[in-house]
Copies of this chain bind each other. A is one copy, B any other.
Amino acid sequence: MASSPLFAPPYYAVIFTSLLAEHTKEYDETSNETYELAQGQPGFLGVESVRDAGGQGATISYWRTEDDVKNFRKIATHRHAQKRGREAFYERYEVRVAKVEKEYAWRRKEDGVGEYVRE
């Protein structure tokens, strides 16, 4: 997972939750391609991804505007259509597009106490 910076609201989050049918090398390759594709798109801010040993996953990508989300979705859908559809990898998935209104973060400091931060 990336270092999870903050981005100054308002911005958009795409919450992608899923259960993998099978964790294959092809899945990892396709994930990496999608990540690289996203990185080159206008308005891409960052992404966080966690998957457990049981195949449950949550990937949250962050975008500056709703149009940036739409554009990326169009491009990614086209790319997936050219190759194997991403449906092949999953038992189920959900996509939620949400406008981030507030954010805060906490970081442990060397004294072990920690502090709230905004970046």
Contacts and interface: CB of A to CB of B under 8 A. Distances in A.
Interface residues of A, number: 40
Q: How many copies does the complex hold?
A: 2
A17 B101 contact: no
6 contacts: A6-B94, A13-B98, A91-B108, A94-B105, A96-B103, A99-B99
Given A58-B48, A87-B114, A101-B98, A15 B17 contact: no
A109 to B, nearest CB: 10
A108 B55 CA distance: 15
A35 interface: no
Query: Helix, strand, loop or mixed for chain A's interface?
Result: strand
B17 A4 contact: yes
Contacts of A52: 50-53
Contacts of A102: 95-97
